[in-house]
Each structure stands twice: as C-alpha cells, then as structure tokens.
C-alpha cells in the first residue's frame, strides 16, 4: 500500500505527523546508507590507514552542518553534536572497511 505522506504544514492529525516522521526517518536512513558508501569508497581509495582520521576535515564537516542548521532556523549546537557523532561513526566504519579490504 502506498501511503500519502503530507508535508508538515499540511498535517492536521498526529497520525499524519507520525507517518511523516517515519517516512522521513526512512529517507534519512537511505541517505546515511549512501554516506557510508562514500566511507567505503574512501577506504578503498586511501592508501595509508593513518590518513583516515582527518581532524581538520572533521571540524569543517561539523561546522558546515552547524552553520547550515542555523541558516534553516534549526538548533545548530545540537545538530553539530549529532554531526560530530556521525563523523566519528563514519571514521570508525572507514577504518573497519580499510582493514577489511586489505585483509
């Protein structure tokens, strides 16, 4: 069954809101799957394990997320914390993939 997901401003009931949240969570998971695919690509491309962790790049990604959130009127500091965890998880995943590829 294809359910119609309403935009937030169209919702009139909590059932509609929850359906939208659940659909958005599934979309976010698809995007995370793609993002982690880029981590697999990075693990394949990088020839030296020591360059997997790049603190300058991490700071840039987290700062970009915070700034983007604030531009959208979202809680920048909270979303920066989420992005920090996302980047740390990505680095850990990339290290595992780097080792797996070269095992």
46 annotated as ligand-binding: yes
18 annotated as ligand-binding: yes
- 17-49: b or e for each residue (b if 16 or more CB lie within 10 Å)? eebbeeeeeeeeeeeeeeebeebbebbeeeeee
DSSP annotation of 2 reads: -
Contact 87, 62 (CB under 8 A): yes
Distance CA 77, CA 97 (A): 30
35 annotated as ligand-binding: yes
16 annotated as ligand-binding: no
Annotated binding site for substrate: 18, 35, 46, 94
Annotated binding site: 18, 35, 46, 94
């Amino acid at each position: 069954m294809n359910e119609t997901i309403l935009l937030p401003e169209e919702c009139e009931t909590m059932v509609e809101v929850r359906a939208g949240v659940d659909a958005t969570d599934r979309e976010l998971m698809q995007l995370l799957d793609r993002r982690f695919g880029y981590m697999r690509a990075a693990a394949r491309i990088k020839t030296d394990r020591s360059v997997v962790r790049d603190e300058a790049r991490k700071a840039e990604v987290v700062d970009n997320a915070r700034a983007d959130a604030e531009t959208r009127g979202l809680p920048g500091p909270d979303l920066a914390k989420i992005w920090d965890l996302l980047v740390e998880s990505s680095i850990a995943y990339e290290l595992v993939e780097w080792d797996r590829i070269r095992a």
